[in-house]
Structures are given as C-alpha cells and as structure tokens.
Amino acid sequence: MDLSFTKEELAFRDEVRSYLADNLPERISDAVRRGGELTKEMMEEWHAILQRKGWLATIWPKEYGGPGWTPVQKHIFEEECCRAYAPRIVPFGLSMLGPVLIRFGTEEQKAEILPRILDGTDWWCQGYSEPGAGSDLASLKTRAVRDGDEWVINGQKTWTTLGQHANKIFCLCRTDPDAKQQEGISFILVDLDTPGIEMRPIKLIEGGHEVNEVFFTDVRVPYGNLVGEENKGWTIAKYLLTHERTGIAGVGFSMQSLEEVKALARKVKRGGKRLIDDPLFAARIAQAEVDLEAMKITNLRMLFRAQEMGAPGPETSILKIKGTVIHQELKDLARRALGPVAAPFPGYLAEGNIMFGPDGTEHNAARYFNNRKTSIFGGSNEIQRNILSKAALEL
Amino acid sequence: MDFNLTEDRRMLSDSLNRYLGDKYPVEHRNRVAYDLPCHDPEKWDEIAELGALFALAPEEAGGFGGGGFDISVVFEALGRALCPEPVLGAAMAARILTKLGTDQEALLSGATKYAVALAEVDAPYDLSEMACTASASGDGHALSGRKTSVYGGQVADVFIVAAMLDGAPALFAVQAGDAEVVGYPMMDGGGAAELLLDGTPGKLLAADAGAIVQDAINAGIVALCAEAVGAMDVTHATTVDYLKQRKQFGVPIGKFQVLQHRAVDMLTEIEQARSITIKAAAELDGPDAARFASMAKNMIGRAARLVAEEAIQMHGGIAMTWEYPVSHYAKRLVMLDAQLGDTDYHLSRIMADLAA
Ligand SMILES: Cc1cc2nc3c(=O)[nH]c(=O)nc-3n(C[C@H](O)[C@H](O)[C@H](O)COP(=O)(O)OP(=O)(O)OC[C@H]3O[C@@H](n4cnc5c(N)ncnc54)[C@H](O)[C@@H]3O)c2cc1C
C-alpha cells in the first residue's frame, strides 16, 4: 500500500496549480470565496479559460475534446480547483449530457452538440424532476407524443438548476403510457426558445434564485431530438446517474470549508480569547477534521476500485452520504462561529460601512441553509441508503 | 404537582394563538419579516391589546403575570406563528424595570418599544467580557462602544444598554434618537440593529447590575426556548402531515419505516425540549434560575437544529423553497441558537458548575 502520489502525479498537480494561479481571475475566485451567487458571465468566463487549456470536459474521452486523464488526475484537478476557489464547473452539459451523447448519441448529434458545449454556445439544464416525481423519478408524467417528424411535449419539470441561464434543456418524457413505468420513457433534447415553454423562478430558503420550474404546452421539437432509442430513456437516465463521477464526495469543497472554519475560529474573539481556544468549539472542528481525513482516503479507495472494476459500484453511495454530511457540518460550523453576527440578511448593509464578522463571511448563514440541498438532490441520502442496503448488502 | 396551565394563562394562550393564526398568517409574516422595519405597527398594537405585554410583568408593576409560565405562554404562541414582532425586548426590559421598581405602563401598553442591548461583536455571549463603557458626564452618563444584534433595535424607542461603569456592568436607558442605530432584517426574519455609541447620553438605571442582567437573560432564555418549542411543534406537525400526503413509489412516504422512526425521534427531542423549558420557567424566580436557563438553552440549541434539519430533509426539495413555510421555521429554529448564548456556551456554564 502506498498513499503517496507518483512523481508524474505530483508534476501534474504543480502544473494545475500554476495554471490556476496564472489564469483564474481574482475577481472570480474572490466571488467564490465570498459565497454569494456567481453571475452567468463569471461561470462562462471560467469555462472559457479552462477550455483554452483543454481542461474543461475533464471526463470526456480524448477524441471528443477531453484531456484523457486518469481518475487520479481528475481527482487532483478537482482538489486544486477547490484550493484555488475556482467556480464549480456547470455540470449539465459537461458532466451529464456530454457523456450521454458520447455513449448513446448519433454521429450527427455528437458532431453538432458537443462542440457547442465546449465553446459555451449552449448552456444546458436538466429536466428530470417533476412535482410528482422526485425520488420516484420513473413515475414522471411529462408527455411526448409523436406527430409525424415532430414530438409534441406537454407537462411540467421542476427544480431546474440555473435554467434561467440556459438555452437548452434535456428532458425525460413519457412516450409510452401503457408500458411498464421504466419502459415508456424517452430522452429528448429541447430548445428553450421553442414556443410553448414558460420558465418561472423558484426562490430558495436563503433567498437565492438557482432553480426554476418549466412548463411545456404543446411544445413541438424535431423527432431527431430523441437521444438513443425511443422508450429506452430510463437506461440513459440511470447511466447518467451512476456513471463515473469523481466529485461526488465533495472532498475538495470540504477541505476548503475546513480551512475557512479554522481561519475564522482564529479570528473570531470570544471574551478576550480566540474562538479556537474554546475547547468545545475546537472539539467540533477537530471532529470534522477526523471525519474528513478518513473521507479523503475512502474517496480515493473507491476511485481506485472503480478504476479496477471499470465502473463504480454501489459503494459510491457511501461517498454521497458521508461526503454531504461532513460538508454540511462544516457549513454549520462556519455559521456557528460567527454567533449572532451571522444573522444579518446578506447584502442588506452593502452600502453602509458596518462590518459584522471578518471580511467575506456575510453569506455564512445563507450557505449553511442553501447546502441542506446536497443531501436531497442527486438521489437523496435516504435513496442512497436504499441502494446500498439492496445492492451492497443484499437486504 | 400540576402540569396544566392556570385558567388565565390558558385563555391568553388561546386568544393569542387564535389572533396570530387569523391575522398574522405566515404569508403576512414573510411580507413583514424580511424588510425594514420588520414590524407591523397595527398588529403590534393588537397583540398588546390582547395582553401579551401585560403578561410580562407582575401585578405590582402594572401587569398581570411576570412569571416564567406567563413568559412561556406568550412566546410559545409567538413561536407557533413565527411572529417577528419585537416582544423579546419587551419581555427582558419588563424584567429589568420590575426589579428596579420603575414605571412601565408605556412598555406594557405597547406605546413604547424597548430593546435590550447586551451582546457585542467580540463578546456575544459572555458579558463579563464586554467592552462598552460608561462614564459620568454632567448630570448623567456618556456611553461608548458598539452593541451588536440588538433584537428589535430597528424599531425601538428606548434601549436598555449594558456597559461597564467603574469596572462593573451597569444598565442605562438610551433614547433611540440619541444614538446611531443601524437596523437590518435577519436571515431568519425579524429585525435587529447595531447600536453605535460614541459619548451617547444614557440615564443610569442601575450600577453594579450583574444580577439584574442575569435575571433578564434568564427570562429571555425562557422566552426563546418557549418560542422554539412552539415553532418545533408546528414544524413537526407539518412534517408528519406531509409524510402522510406525499406519495412516491405508489405509497405515502410516511410508509417508509426509516422516515417513521426519524419523525418519532423528532417528537422525542421536542418533548425533552418542552420539559426542560418548563423546568427553566418554573425556576425563573428561584435561586438556580441561571443554571436551569443554561440547561434549557443548551438542549434547545440541539433539538431545534435537529428538528429544522430533519424537517427539511424529510420533505425533500419542497422545504428548500421560500414559498413553503417550513423553510422559514427551520431558519428561525437554527438561528435562535445564537441569541443569548449558544448551545456550547451554555454547556460550558453547566460544566463550570460541575467543577465548582
Ligand atoms: C436545490 C435543488 C436543485 C435541484 N436541481 C435539479 C435539476 O437541475 N434537475 C432536476 O431534474 N432535479 C433537480 N433537483 C431535484 C432533486 O433531484 C429532487 O429534489 C430529489 O430527487 C428528491 O425529490 P423530491 O424533492 O421530490 O423529494 P421526495 O422524493 O418527495 O422525498 C421526500 C422525502 O422522502 C424520502 N424518500 C423518498 N422515497 C423514499 C424511500 N423509498 N425510502 C426512504 N425515504 C424515501 C426522501 O429521501 C425525502 O427525505 C434539485 C433539487 C434541489 C433541492
């Protein structure tokens, strides 16, 4: 057993680190550090910077424009991006639709769509969930009916993340209402400019706008927008949900949060002493650090296993469950450390010169609340446990 | 032993719950709570007319209550409705003015709004470390320093301010118009203010006021704990209701045993929280009031976080939205931990008792 990176991996890490240092604009990393909402322009700018270097579509094969990295390289890259406070890659085109097209798309679809994801022409969003179909995604009702060489779509999608920036949406639609639930679903691409589509914002708990609902009324798109076979969309949906995702544990983000909490606890004063000298608070940080240290290795172990087996197994659900819980705990500490000073609604005193907590902490309470989402979306932590108990434990 | 409320308190509880349910529904609450002044003057007057403020002081001080259970009855109702009105300041100020024998007719009628300014940025919980100072100036005193997160301070007419005078904590009345008051809405709704004092005139209420301040904190803790119990009850009931309504995989999600057990765990924690709050209220005028207040605040800090987080998780995405009331209850439940000492701070006080 050897936990150290190879010489080549260390050289790669240094290369990533220096590229980020030279190319990630401080304006953008500063916005990430502060934890407010990023603008569309910032996300697009960051994508373009990575694409210049060929590092944007990190999980695509080389022939489609990916860098051809090993899982360990992808891991190193993600960790370095977190360390540098780079924005997260917007995943819908790059990590979701891209791999789906590469696996299931026609040559025309690949040739037409993939380059537009890479150069930022298209911003995709994910139309899976519906008001009545969350954990039980296969019960979705949005209907697509074939009419000559067109699909006619009616129904509603919801929770569409960053749909307000998107010009395209990939949807799971019911195309055979008489088949067994999973067998009547198709994967269809839709241009959001098509008549009959209405998008409405959903305001989240902390006041932010990152999700939307999308209504479809007699929306007509070409039949050729179907990806894969008709009524075989569930296979694609499953592929998308289970295919290799190195970032699922969010280790890099937790490392970032841990450093922030430590720095904060050194700055915050509690009655003449630093908060970090309060044994109760220090114990909370130390506990989270132990959990995270173990998670880093659990993450790497599962990455290696996936590499050996050729595909990730159900154990990756462990990464989702524990990874989100650790990250949420750290966000709790970042809020807790500020005490009552975390309370002001962010942005309200932007014009004034009153400082509350240390610089850059005004969103700490908002981030804590917003991050409750991570144990709900992408398969809730309860669903992950169901997967584990069935597939790993055979219970 | 009797765990029933007296007839008077039950009536107050019923009428407040009914009034707030009718006139301060959560949609109205959300319109009021997140924008300055975070206060609805008409509703404030009506809440006062119902006796919610008179209940905060004993008869000899012009009220009709003033005990721990009077405070808890009022705040449990406020918590159920997530009411953002600045009643906490009134409750703590009434305790202080009662101890000092000062007239408080204007407070109890709601005509004058009080806020109590204790916390500081570098000393949010342990006031022995506060840096605000007062010194004699002319006939009165001049105060300097900054008080933070003064709940209700954004609309207060009068601040009762704790500041060090000759090395001991003292209490002063500061008129809002004499100080720089920077108000803002909070993450969990409701308003607060930063109080910036710079040679600001203050009327000395009590020198060497450590015991009076502690009593006001104990009363404030009973209020916050009761508010949390009310808010937890509603959050839990809403969650259980949702478990029965929401269907996935062809069944109500409440059929999944893992969710059943967790809903039961929430209930257990809420009952424990209710019990310790009753204990703190019962002991409010006794010799160990501070100890039981600390126990209550420590437990509420833990229970309220659990209830908030579990309620969101068991709802799924819907409770992540602004539109769904549970999100606002969850924010309040989590954020009230940082008022008047958080769960760790109060644990450390109980630990200090162990060592003593
Ligand atoms: C911020 C945010 C962004 C999102 N972005 C997107 C997006 O871009 N595109 C998209 O398509 N979707 C998105 N989602 C939707 C997300 O995937 C769903 O919220 C998730 O699948 C859960 O569904 P639900 O919210 O309907 O909860 P429900 O499925 O109704 O679940 C409610 C509760 O029941 C539990 N539960 C359900 N079934 C079981 C079971 N069998 N056993 C035990 N417990 C169970 C759940 O774990 C949860 O605790 C987003 C959600 C959020 C909150």
CATH (domain of B17): 1.10.540.10
Q: Which residues contact B289 (CB under 8 A, 6 or more apart)?
A: B215, B218, B280, B283
Task: Say yes or no: B170 and B52 in one domain.
Answer: no
Task: Please count the structural domains in chain A.
Answer: 3
Evaluate whether residue A212 is within a structural domain: yes
Residue A145 within a domain? yes
Q: Which tens digit of pLDDT belongs to each residue from B293-303?
A: 999 999 999 99
Residues B350, B216 share a domain: yes
Residue where a domain terminates, one of B156, B186, B208: B208
Instruction: Judge whether A110 lies within some domain.
Output: no
What residues pair up with B165 in beta bridges, in sequence order? Answer: B168
Position A346 scores a pLDDT of 83
**Could you tell me the CATH number of the domain that includes residue B152?**
2.40.110.10
Q: Rounded distance, CA B235 to CA A80, Å? A: 41
Strand A197-203 relative to strand A209-222, pairing: antiparallel
Q: Same domain, yes or no, for A269 and A367? A: yes
* B258: CATH: 1.20.140.10
Which residues of chain B have a CB within 8 Å of the CB of A354? 182, 194
Residues B58 and B180 in one domain: no
Of B208, B223, B257, which one is at a domain's C-terminal end?
B208
Residue A9 in this model has a pLDDT that exceeds 80: yes
Q: Residue B265: which domain range?
A: 212-355
Q: Which of A203, A269, A344 has the CB atom closest to B122's CB atom?
A: A269
Spell out the alpha helix ranges (H) of chain A: 7-23, 26-34, 40-53, 71-83, 91, 98-104, 107-118, 233-242, 251-267, 279-309, 316-336, 364-370, 381-387
Q: DSSP of A187-232, one letter per residue?
A: EEEEETTSTTEEEEEEEBTTS-EEEEEEEEEEEEEEGGGEESSTTB
Q: Which two tokens stand for residue B56?
A: 């905060």
**Residue B2, in any domain of the structure:** no
Tokens read off for A284: 């909370």
Q: Are B266 and B286 contained in the same domain?
A: yes
Which residues, 6+ apart, have CB-to-CB distance to A353 below 8 Å? none
Cβ pairs A/B, distance under 8 A: 142
Q: Which of B229, B170, B217 is nearest to B341 (CA)?
A: B217
| Centre of ligand 1 from the C-alpha of residue A136, in Å | 8
Tens of pLDDT, residues A127-142: 999 999 999 999 999 9
**Chain B residues lying within 8 Å of A331, measured CB to CB:** none
Judgement on whether residues A85 and A132 belong to the same structural domain of the protein? no
Grouping H, G, I as helix, E, B as strand and the rest as coil, residue A169 is strand
A164 lines ligand 1 (CB under 6 A): no
Return the pLDDT at B86: 98
Give the DSSP letter string of B65-108: --SHHHHHHHHHHHHHHT--SSHHHHHHHHHHHHHHT---HHHH
Q: For residue B135, which of B145, B127, B125 has the smallest C-alpha distance?
A: B145
Summarize the confidence of residues B334-342 as an average pLDDT.
Answer: 98
Does A243 score more than 90 pLDDT?
Answer: no
Pair (B303, B282) in one structural domain: yes
Say if A238 falls within a structural domain.
no
Q: Which of A300, A331, A326, A319 is nearest to A379 (CA)?
A: A319
pLDDT in tens, B115-165: 999 999 999 999 888 999 999 998 899 999 999 999 999 999 999 999 999
Percent residues over pLDDT 90 in chain A: 83
**Considering the domain boundaries, does residue B12 fall inside one?**
yes
Determine the average pLDDT of the residues in A75-87.
94
| Structure tokens belonging to residue B102 | 């000062």
Query: What does the pLDDT read at residue A3?
Result: 86
Beta bridge partners of B173: B160, B203
Q: At what angle do helices B289-315 and B257-282 cross, to 10 degrees?
A: 160
Shared-domain flag, residues A141 and A76: no
**Number of folded domains that form chain B:** 3
Q: Do B131 and B87 form a contact (C-beta atoms < 8 A)?
A: no
pLDDT at A114 over 90: yes
The answer as to whether A66 is a domain residue is yes
Q: CA angle, A135 as apex, A131 and A138 as ends, to 5°?
A: 80
With CB atoms and an 8 Å threshold, state whether B321 touches A271. Answer: no
Is there an atom of ligand 1 within 6 Å of B356 CB? Answer: no
Q: Could you tell me if A278 lies within 8 Å of chain B, comparing CB atoms?
A: yes
Task: State whether the beta carbon of B253 lies less than 6 angstroms from ligand 1.
Answer: yes
The ipTM assigned to this model is 0.97
Same domain for A144 and A197, yes or no, is yes
Q: Do residues B119 and B107 both lie within one domain?
A: no
In terms of Cα–Cα distance, which of A26, A135, A41 is closest to A90? A41
pLDDT the model gives residue B315: 98
pLDDT per position as a tens digit, A170-227: 999 999 999 999 999 999 999 999 999 999 999 999 999 999 999 999 999 999 999 9
Tell which of B208, B241, B274 closes a domain: B208
Question: Please, what is the Cα angle at B130 between B154 and B183, to 5 degrees?
Answer: 10
Per-residue pLDDT at A353? 57
How far is it, in rounded angstroms, from Cα A40 to Cα B221?
44
Report the SS3 class of residue A58: coil
pLDDT mean across residues, chain A: 93
- On whether both B271 and B190 belong to a single domain, the answer is no
Tell me whether A208 touches chain B (CB under 8 Å): no
Domain closes at, from A89, A112, A137: A89
Shared domain for A48 and A159, answered yes or no, is no
In a domain, residue A111? The reply is: no
| Active site (annotated) includes residue A244 | yes
Share of chain A above pLDDT 70, in %: 97
Instruction: State pLDDT tens for residues B45-68.
Output: 999 999 999 999 999 999 999 999
pLDDT for A1:
80
Query: Looking at the structure, do residues A209 and A168 belong to the same domain, yes or no?
Result: yes
The last residue of one of the domains, among A206, A232, A258, is A232
Tokens linked to A134: 């969350």
**Cβ separation A340–B119 shorter than 8 A:** yes
Asked if B105 and B127 sit in the same domain, the reply is: no
| Residue B29 region by backbone torsions, left for phi larger than 0, else alpha for psi between -120 and 50, else beta | alpha
> B6 — alpha (psi -120 to 50), left (phi > 0) or beta?
beta
**Could you read off the pLDDT of A299-358 as tens digits, one per residue?**
989 888 877 877 778 888 999 999 999 999 999 999 999 999 999 988 776 545 577 778
Beta bridge partners of A222: A150
Domain membership of residue A208 as a residue range: 123-232
* Within a domain: B35: yes
